[in-house]
Structure 1
Amino acid sequence: MKTYEVVVAVANIWTAANSARKNDEFALSNPVQLNKWLEQQPYKERLALCDSNLLQSQLLYGECLQVIEEVDGWSSVIVSQQPSRKNAAGYPGWVPSHQLQIAQEKTATKFVIVTANKTQIYKKDFTLSIVVPFNTIVDYLDEDAIYYDVQTPHGAAKILKSDAAITALPHVGNRDSMANRTMSSLQFLDLPYVWGGMSSYGYDCSGFTYNIAKAAGHIIGRDATEQSEGGTAINKDDRTQWRVGDLLFFADDLGTKKESIRHVGLYFGNDLLLHSHQTGKSVELYELNGSTLEKEICAVRRYD
């Protein structure tokens, strides 16, 4: 397998090479036009991403992945930084080949991670390059008072220091408490839920928790079930033990053999949940007391 990198702001990982529909054209292009893609996805079409098993996950600009094979303009890929029980090597799926290129050799000893919801990357001459979402990571080159000089898949570029930070590792932010990262994640309130979403154009429930953990220096499972198996178990029945930033998991059919985790969110303190709930809704603060979700809490895990 060869190592490739993503050359668009966000690359969808499709279930199969024929999963994409006619109204997905703006997500298949290079450059992608995520806002236009989402505009063409009213409720029924967004729901089909899940119900028809069309979309699996997403990749951010500059992220590396393994390409297994290419078939008719599509690449079968494995994403090692998204752990999954679907494949021991990482999350599997299909990406349009023209959204990828063979990865450049990594020589950087530190990196720049985007901390803003989105930011503009500028070419060296300050002409516009590409807008990238939260948690995008590129190689650090140098800096001045206002900009980081970085190496991107499109070459040397600049990022505003006010929208980013230096990190020591190529796949995660610097180690921080989940509490701090959760509190700073109010910037995503009202962001639409998108099945398979792993970017600040729209998250699904586990994509949201995955990215908050990534910003805090952790690589956790991509999907809720895998996330519920990591970290440290916290007593789900004793809320005095819960901390801001703990992951709360919810399941159907509690106490039965059919019990299955269907949702995850971040504890925000004061019996509040910060989560990206379901198609048709947005990232929100949710009151647990007396709610339907309160009755479905099946696990609490801590990743600090």
Structure 2
Amino acid sequence: ESADEVIVPAFTHISTANAFALRGAKIVFADILADTMCIDPADVIKKITPETKAVVAMHYGGYAADMVLLGDICKKNGLYLIEDAAHSIGATHNDKHLGTFGDIGCISFHETKNIHCGEGGAFLINNPELLKKAEEVFEKGSNRAAFLRNEVSEYSWTGLGSSFGMNNLSAAMLWSQLQDLGVVSEKRVAIWNDYYAAFKSIEGIILPPESESGFNAHIFYIKAQATQADGLLALLNEKGIAACRHFPPLNKSPFGEKFGKTHCTVAEAEYQKLIRLPMHIGIRKTDTEFIADIIARFLSK
């Protein structure tokens, strides 16, 4: 409803907020933690009002947000906890898959993800109370799922829904990759570790947290001083390296400001430093060393 508020991290993809804005909710932006780039539970607490209905945690690059603390906060305040696990296919935290902690989890199979089918995704219903509604939405606003289970004699229009089924060609492309998810994750982690080894002795940059068991190595990034990041990014692009910024804070975007002018100081500051480096299973160790050498030379000047 129009008065409902949903708390989302300021540092996330547009789609995270769009999912709720499209349905009339007011988006409330929360700040992030600098080490994981995930939503800050302390700021979430500050942003909760009587109108808050849900909190969204985005697991950046496959790093887990603090789901235990966020779960406690949501339970205490009667809120839904939703996971944007777009980066997290195959990633686990404490032997539990990301996307399975909250009431709902969302996985992306967009072309930029570890495995993909061009466009597509998965909707994980972890709260049984939401299953019937999810089926209705998926079945174009009908009780067709109940009909297929012989629970009703015919199906009819029971609510709002749409067509979300994946076409067979995309599904076949995805299915073959799902069989190799473990192999893909292992290769990506090996490349991520090559990057880390090549960069760990370079002064003037901050590296992401070290990988741990269950990490899926979706992204490798570095942080440079904000005054140097633009020049470094331009040099990398000039050398043919597809480095880029990531996630301009939504609270400072033209449309995000329509929900009120807010400051998320950590997200705004870290965005100015973060440079995302190429990450795919075709990257070789020599590539990571080449990129590291360019960055080391730039920073030594």
TM-score, structure 1 as length reference: 0.30
Pair member with larger Rg: 2
Structure holding more helix per residue: 2
Structure holding more strand per residue: 1
TM-score, structure 2 as length reference: 0.30
